[in-house]
């Protein structure tokens, strides 16, 4: 069992709290992603796992052992950094073999293990070459090989794809996931890119300002975000969020965003929001906003401000009164700038958040 567990881990830098009471568990052989904007605390968290930074408070467990005082070299944790420290004057082979040589592994064994890892990562052609001839993706793979060759129990990757081209990022992401599955290692991965996070992670922890806002499977984060931050961070194009209040009209609960209303009876039912009639945010994903060309009951008049063609889909930005709403439509529907449209909502998919605390109510 080589899972990992944090219990109320905090870390300050001077007076600034970098991590505040962070608790989570990563299962054996899980691919766990920490996602969040720059400055959320992702790198510090990874460094604490590796033992490069000591927490001020809390316990870190690897397997069943507390490792707070175990030095990095004895933790059996490998870490790949955003900018991998590769020796420029050594060949690929020498770079990858380096950690084994330090451990005085016999040269036959070094050859065998480097060869194995190189084959797996498809970098055998780089073994005799020096790093100055590598592309960004190749450099990243050599760095990864150097960590994997030690066969760590837990592998940490700090924004490993950040500096790669979009196209290479997509393929490397898939390679990493396949590698993790084949090797059966516990992998912890950090990224600022939510798409990458949900694509690769078994579970994702969304971080913001030193705390974990929510941990969940990708689909769960997307369909049931617990806070406004998670709602906004996960999903592209971003969820529409509009100021509103809640009114009871007979049997029905109506969200009033002044320029339009949404019947929230189904989502709101039974959660006791009677007290929360003001200071709310309505959250609707762009694919749950519907555009019609003609007026219909419970559709609201708006004007097209912008259309963005994504190739297979189109994002149409519509102004309804003071509110701006993004709507995802099929590529075959055409809209003119300034065109009048009617906007409706998939009401059962709508979310409500408290504006002040950011916490989701429905």
Partner 1 sequence: MPKLLVKNLRKVFGTFEAVKDVSFQVEEKETLCLLGPSGCGKTTTLRIIAGLEVPTSGEVFVDGRLVNDVPPQNREIGLVFQDYAIFPHLSVFENIAYGLRVRKMPLAQLKREVHETASLVGVDNILDVAGKKLSLSEMQRVAVGRSIVLDPKLLLLDEPLSNIDAKAREKMRAELGKMQKEIGIATVYVTHDQLEAMTLADRIAVMRNGLIDQIGTTGEIYDNGRTLFVAKFIGSPAMNLIDCELVYSEERGVLKSEDLALDITELGEAVRDKVEGKELIFGIRPEDVSVEVHKTNSGAIEAAVQLAEPIGAKSIYHLKMGRITVLAKDYSMPDVGVGSKVWVTFNKDKIRLFDKKTEEAIL
The residues that touch partner 1, with contacts defined as CB under 8 A, are: 37-38, 165-167, 170, 173-174, 177-178, 181, 192-195, 198-200, 218-219, 222, 232-233, 235-238, 285, 287, 305-306, 308-312, 315, 317, 326, 331, 337
Based on its alpha-carbon atoms, the radius of gyration of the chain, rounded to whole angstroms, reads 25
Q: Which is nearer to partner 1, 20 or 238 (CB)?
A: 238
CB of 295 to partner 1, least distance (A): 26
DSSP state for residue 173 in the 8-state scheme: H
CB of 59 to partner 1, least distance (A): 32
CB of 306 to partner 1, least distance (A): 5
Tokens standing for residue 244:
């509103």
Distance CA 342, CA 105 (A): 70
CB of 42 to partner 1, least distance (A): 13
13 CB neighbour count, 10 Å cutoff: 11
Q: Which is nearer to partner 1, 94 or 238 (CB)?
A: 238
CB of 275 to partner 1, least distance (A): 32
Q: Which is nearer to partner 1, 272 or 330 (CB)?
A: 330
Q: Which is nearer to partner 1, 74 or 332 (CB)?
A: 332
Cβ-count burial of 74 within 10 angstroms (0-12 exposed, 13-18 middle, 19+ buried)? exposed
Q: Of all helices (H) and strands (E), which one includes residue 45? A: helix 42-50
Q: Which is nearer to partner 1, 8 or 236 (CB)?
A: 236
What DSSP string describes 68-122?
Answer: TTS-GGGTTEEEE-SS----TTS-HHHHHHHHHHHTT--HHHHHHHHHHHHHHTT
């Amino acid at each position: 069992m080589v899972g990992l567990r944090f219990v109320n881990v905090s870390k300050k830098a001077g007076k600034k709290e970098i991590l505040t009471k962070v608790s989570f568990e990563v299962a054996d052989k899980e691919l766990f992603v920490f996602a969040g904007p720059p400055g959320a605390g992702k790198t510090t968290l990874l460094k604490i796992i590796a033992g490069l930074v000591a927490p001020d408070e809390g316990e870190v467990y690897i397997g069943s052992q507390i490792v707070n005082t175990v030095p990095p070299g004895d933790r059996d944790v490998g870490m790949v950094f955003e900018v991998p420290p590769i020796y420029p004057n050594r060949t690929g082979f020498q770079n990858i073999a380096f950690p084994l040589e330090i451990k005085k592994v016999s040269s036959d064994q070094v050859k065998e293990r480097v060869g194995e890892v190189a084959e797996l990562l498809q970098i055998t052609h780089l073994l005799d070459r020096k790093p100055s001839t590598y592309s960004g993706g190749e450099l990243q793979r050599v760095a990864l090989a150097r960590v994997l060759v030690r066969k760590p129990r837990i592998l940490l990757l700090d924004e490993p794809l950040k500096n790669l081209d979009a196209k290479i990022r997509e393929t490397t992401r898939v390679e990493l996931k396949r590698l993790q599955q084949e090797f059966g290692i516990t992998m912890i991965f950090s990224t600022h890119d939510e798409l990458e996070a949900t694509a690769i992670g078994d579970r994702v922890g969304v971080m913001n300002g030193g705390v974990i806002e929510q941990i969940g499977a990708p689909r769960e984060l997307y369909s049931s975000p617990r806070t406004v931050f998670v709602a906004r961070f996960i999903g592209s194009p971003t969820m529409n969020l509009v100021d509103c209040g809640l009114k009871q009209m007979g049997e029905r609960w109506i969200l009033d965003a002044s320029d339009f209303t949404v019947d929230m009876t189904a989502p709101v039912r039974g959660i006791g929001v009677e007290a929360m009639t003001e200071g709310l945010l309505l959250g609707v994903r762009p694919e749950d906003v519907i555009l019609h060309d003609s007026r219909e009951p419970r559709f609201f008049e708006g004007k097209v401000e912008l259309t963005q063609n994504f190739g297979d889909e189109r994002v149409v930005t519509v102004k309804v009164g003071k509110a701006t709403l993004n709507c995802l439509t099929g590529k075959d529907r055409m809209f003119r700038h300034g065109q009048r449209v009617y906007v409706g909502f998939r009401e059962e998919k709508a979310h409500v958040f408290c504006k002040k605390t950011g916490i989701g109510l429905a």
